[in-house]
Amino acid sequence: MVFLYPQTQHPLIPQAHSVEEDRALASETKNFRNQLLLLLQNQVDKISADYSDSDDSESLYRHIRQELDANPEIQKAHQRRSTLQDRLWERVANNIKSDRDRLAREYASLLKIKDKGGLELNAKLDCPRHQLKVDIHRMPGGYLQDHDESDFWTGAIYDSGVFLYGQGWFGGLNDELGHTLINNVLRHYYPEFTPQKILDMGCSVGHSTLPYTSEYPDAEVWGIDLGASLLRYASARAKALDKAVYFSQQNAEKTEFEDNSFDLVVSHILLHEIPSGARKKVFAESYRLLKKGGMMIHLESNLFLSPPTLASRYFRDTEVWVNSEPYLASSKLEDFETYTQKAGFNLEDLEILCVPGYYAQQKGINKKSWTTFCAKKV
Ligand SMILES: C[S@@+](CC[C@H](N)C(=O)[O-])C[C@H]1O[C@@H](n2cnc3c(N)ncnc32)[C@H](O)[C@@H]1O
């Protein structure tokens, strides 16, 4: 089995594509990644055994990094990692191209649905420069590519790309992270908390945003992102799935919402894609936007925050340049306590909870892959 869950079809998923070819690429990527992790682990074990000062873990890691970076077999593997990522985007682009006319028609007819949520775009938005510097994940054109007022293609590329990249681990609708935050954090640790107004920061195409509409049907749900094309797609996709979300093009570091306007402010895998200064601002903005008694919950991957082995740390650190993830390794876990406190929360009101993924857990996989920073505004 290659995909943990099959992709859920909706009108904006390319239909004319070859699932067999997607599967073959996913399988090749999975096998390659397993072999690479094994190779890294074997090399790390060997280098550690020969290293005299292996008690000092930081100097050991620096030494490992130098050795692995200079190893021709590993250099070749890095090239293949990048190539596989580029092939993923190529497949997605081909899939979309082969169904382009139908997708454009579906998008146009979804636009006509007026009574579900909303979409506010701001052509004058001043995008933070850190998002303009590189195409994160080597996605051609990047998250913010937007050619004209009818452009929803960046969103279409992102939606299919995430499914192929995640190999179905994020569920058929790529909504694992929203369900994880709701079911494994909110419902589990804060069962009494019933937010009425919810904001998802860095929502992209709304993968994680939509579950809040089903789980809190009385709530008003907002998603913000920098990318206009992503948001056009998000809005059309939400309508296709019959969900009401208000999407708005805003900078999560400094939004246009008034003080004290939300009960719950969340983000899902936003933090690892922005630099430390921006993380600090996102925490401060979350505090400003929350009503008294409201909660901020930001969810991130453990692999990013605290890789469990030296080999996985090396894998994470090389994602920075192999997979164009410039900010991945730029905050330590304890830095987030500082961001929380500087934002205005009391440190004793912060809980850092590690939880398993919602869909993974349903398949019996209980590994705690996700870390959440939860703080209440008192
Ligand atoms: C990895 S994607 C997030 C995925 C999404 N939260 C989910 O769970 O499916 C990161 C998103 O954050 C957005 N982003 C980055 N910096 C931002 C900022 N300062 N304000 C708002 N959105 C931002 C990017 O445009 C991108 O869509």
3-state secondary structure the chain: CCCCCCCCCCCCCCCCCCHHHHHHHHHHHHHHHHHHHHHHHHHHHHHHHHCCCCCCHHHHHHHHHHHHHCCHHHHHHHHHHHHHHHHHHHHHHHHHHCCHHHHHHHHHHHHCCCCCCEEECCCCCCCCHHHCCCCHHHCCCCCCCCCCCCCCHHHHHHHHHHHHHHCCCCCCCCCHHHHHHHHHHHHHHCCCCCCCEEEEECCCCCCCCHHHHHHCCCCEEEEEECCHHHHHHHHHHHHHCCCCCEEEECCCCCCCCCCCCEEEEEEECCHHHCCHHHHHHHHHHHHHHEEEEEEEEEEEEHHHHCCCCHHHHHHHHHHHHHCCCCCCCCCCCCHHHHHHHHHCCCHHHEEEEEECCHHHHHCCCCCCCEEEEEEECC
Q: Cβ distance 292 to 300 under 8 Å?
A: no
Structure tokens at 210: 């939509």
pLDDT at site 293: 97
pLDDT at site 54: 60
CA 226 – ligand 1 centroid, Å: 7
| Cβ–ligand 1 contact at 223 (below 6 Å) | no
CA dist 222 and 219 (Å) reads 10
What is the amino acid identity at position 326? P
CA 270 – ligand 1 centroid, Å: 5
Nearest CA to ligand 1 atom 10: 270
| Cβ–ligand 1 contact at 229 (below 6 Å) | no
pLDDT at site 330: 77
Contacts 24+ apart (CB under 8 A), 108-112: 110/11, 110/12, 110/236, 110/239, 110/240, 111/236
Domains located in the chain, CATH noted:
1-378 (3.40.50.150)
pLDDT at site 51: 85
CA 252 – ligand 1 centroid, Å: 9
Q: Beta 246-249 vs 220-225: how paired, if at all?
A: parallel
| Cβ–ligand 1 contact at 177 (below 6 Å) | yes
| Cβ–ligand 1 contact at 268 (below 6 Å) | yes
Closest ligand 1 atom number to CA of residue 130:
16
CA 217 – ligand 1 centroid, Å: 24
For residue 127, pLDDT beyond 80: yes
For residue 147, pLDDT beyond 90: yes
| Cβ–ligand 1 contact at 252 (below 6 Å) | yes
Averaged pLDDT for residues 294-321? 94
pTM score above 0.75: yes
Mutate which of 127, 182, 226, 281 for ligand 1 pocket (most atoms within 8 A of beta carbon): 226
| Cβ–ligand 1 contact at 343 (below 6 Å) | no
pLDDT band of residue 280 (cuts 50, 70, 90) is very high
For residue 17, pLDDT beyond 80: no
CA 268 – ligand 1 centroid, Å: 8
Mutate which of 225, 250, 283, 372 for ligand 1 pocket (most atoms within 8 A of beta carbon): 225
Nearest CA to ligand 1 atom 13: 202
pLDDT at site 279: 96
More confident: 116 or 220: 220
Closest ligand 1 atom number to CA of residue 200:
6
| Cα distances (Å, whole numbers) of residue 375 to 2, 220, 345 | 37, 21, 7
Structure tokens at 289: 């936007």
For residue 116, pLDDT beyond 90: no
pLDDT at site 328: 87
Q: Is residue 330 classed exposed, middle or buried when 0-12, 13-18 and 19+ CB atoms within 10 A define those classes?
A: middle
pLDDT, tens only, 179-207: 999 999 999 999 999 999 999 999 999 99
Structure tokens at 369: 């892959």
Nearest CA to ligand 1 atom 24: 202
| Cβ–ligand 1 contact at 131 (below 6 Å) | yes
